[in-house]
């Protein structure tokens, strides 16, 4: 049984997509697998980083307040044909010398990112594109199988660029995790830790049946741009703080035809990349999410001139 959730580790402060107990990553995911994970509070400072926790509303509020402060409270301009923001991308392939993502999968993953953020799969064109700058290769069994526990050394050695550069690390995550990402407002506190980590089996054509179209990277990079889950805060305000993503009480499981968990507030956005549906059901970002990502980019990730 497969499930996704978002959590955060203390030292790295990252957002997770995780798999639940049952099938494990190596086996096929059940199409009707339920998705839910325990929400625990942050451990005390210095605690070992193998117990992920979920980011709370206060941290999300700080991120949004910081964005508005940095933007000078300027309203977003009307969106027609979006100007293009090109994100430099470095891909770091970690293997154990035997298993790991083949180079032939990198191109399709980058194409999937550009298709998803370009609105070619459904939804809006966010105006965001990704330009591959390079690929590194590292054979390290410890980094490959325990990237979360090894991420300080791994990222300090491999990371390239500044806040505007997306570093995508591809390894093999544990039984519970598909991927995790840092949020943009955390960059100033620990720049060397910035980036996204995903399981190599989630890339296009990977072995995770329900999560093999490359959308784990799309989802996690959404967090890197500052997006919250569509089910954030359930049916209660402020939800994910974006007006055109209807609230939903629970994450989407599997691939339902429709779902309406917050009556009178609009049907659940089951096809949104920031929900937890199976990859085959994900297809879109909204105009509000596009504006949020571009505002977060301007506030936190725009290169210094």
- Give the per-residue pLDDT at 166: 98
What is the distance between the alpha carbons of residues 265 and 263, in angstroms, rounded to a whole number?
Answer: 5
pLDDT above 90: residue 233: no
SS (H, E, C) the chain: CCCCCCCECCCCCCEEEECCCCCCCCCCCCCCCCCCCCCCCCCCCCCCCCCCECCCHHHHHHHHHHHHHHHCCCCCCCCCCCCCEEEEEEEEEEECCCCCCCHHHHHHHHHHHHHHHCCCCCCCCCCEEEEEEEEEEEECHHHHHCHHHHHHHHHHHHCCCCCCCEEEEEECCCCCEEEEECCHHHCCCCHHHCCEEEEHHHCCCCCCHHHCCCHHHHHHHHHHCCCCCCCCCCCCCCCCCCCCCCCCCCCCCCCCCCCCCCCCCCCCCCCECCCCCCHHHCCECCHHHHHHHHHHHHHHHCCCC
pLDDT tens digits along 24-62:
222 222 233 333 332 222 223 332 223 344 567 888 888
Q: How far apart are CA 5 and CA 179, in angstroms?
A: 10
pLDDT at 52: 40
Q: Kindly report, residue by residue over 95-143, the tens digit of the pLDDT.
A: 998 889 999 999 999 999 999 999 999 999 999 999 999 999 999 999 9
pLDDT at residue 27 in the model: 29
pLDDT for residue 11: 33
Q: Which residues carry out catalysis?
A: 220
* Per-residue model confidence as pLDDT tens digits over 242-253: 999 999 999 988
- % residues pLDDT > 90 (the chain): 58
Model confidence at 184: pLDDT above 60: yes
- CA–CA distance, 212 with 199 (Å, rounded to integer): 10
* Spatial separation of the C-alpha atoms in residues 148 and 229, rounded to whole Å: 21
- Tell me which of 64-68, 107-111, 128-132, 285-289 is least confident: 64-68
Mean pLDDT of the chain: 81
pLDDT band at residue 83 under the 50/70/90 scheme: confident
Interval 13-31 mean pLDDT:
37
Q: Which two tokens stand for residue 239?
A: 């939800």
Domain ranges of the chain: 15-301
Q: What is the average pLDDT across 138-163?
A: 94
pTM recorded for the entire structure: 0.82
Q: What is the pLDDT of residue 304?
A: 62
Q: Would you say residue 17 has pLDDT above 70?
A: no
**pLDDT at residue 160 tops 70:** yes
76-85, 125-134, 144-153 — which is least confidently predicted?
76-85
Q: Which CATH class is domain 15-301?
A: alpha beta
Take residue 70 and report the two structure tokens written for it: 């940095």
More confident of the two residues 56 and 192: 192
pLDDT at position 81:
52
Average pLDDT over residues 146-154: 91
């Amino acid at each position: 049984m497969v499930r996704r959730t978002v959590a955060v580790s203390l030292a790295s402060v990252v957002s997770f997509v995780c798999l639940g107990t049952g099938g494990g990553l190596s086996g096929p995911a059940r199409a009707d697998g339920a998705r839910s994970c325990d929400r625990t509070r942050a451990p005390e400072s210095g605690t070992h980083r193998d117990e992920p926790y979920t980011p709370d509303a206060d941290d999300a509020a700080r991120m949004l307040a910081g964005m508005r402060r940095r933007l000078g409270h300027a309203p977003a301009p009307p969106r027609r044909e979006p100007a293009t923001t090109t994100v430099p991308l470095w891909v770091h392939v970690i293997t154990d010398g035997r298993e790991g993502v083949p180079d032939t999968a990198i191109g399709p993953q980058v194409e999937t990112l550009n298709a998803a953020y370009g609105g070619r799969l459904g939804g809006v064109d966010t105006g965001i594109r990704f330009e591959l700058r390079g690929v590194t290769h590292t054979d390290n069994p410890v980094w490959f199988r325990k990237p979360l526990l090894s991420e300080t050394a791994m990222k300090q050695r491999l990371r390239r660029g500044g806040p505007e550069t997306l570093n995508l690390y591809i390894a093999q995550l544990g039984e519970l995790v598909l991927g995790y990402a840092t949020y943009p407002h955390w960059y100033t506190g620990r720049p060397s830790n910035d980036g996204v980590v995903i399981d190599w089996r989630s890339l296009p054509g990977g072995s995770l049946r329900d999560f093999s179209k490359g959308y784990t990277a799309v989802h996690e990079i959404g967090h890197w741009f500052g997006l919250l889950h569509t089910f954030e805060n359930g049916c209660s305000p402020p939800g994910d703080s974006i007006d055109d993503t209807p609230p939903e009480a629970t994450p989407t499981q599997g691939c339902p035809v429709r779902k309406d968990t917050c009556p009178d507030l609009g049907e659940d956005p089951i096809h949104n990349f920031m929900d937890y549906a199976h990859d085959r059901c994900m297809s879109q970002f909204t105009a509000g999410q596009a504006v949020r990502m571009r505002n977060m980019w301007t506030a936190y990730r725009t290169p210094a001139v």
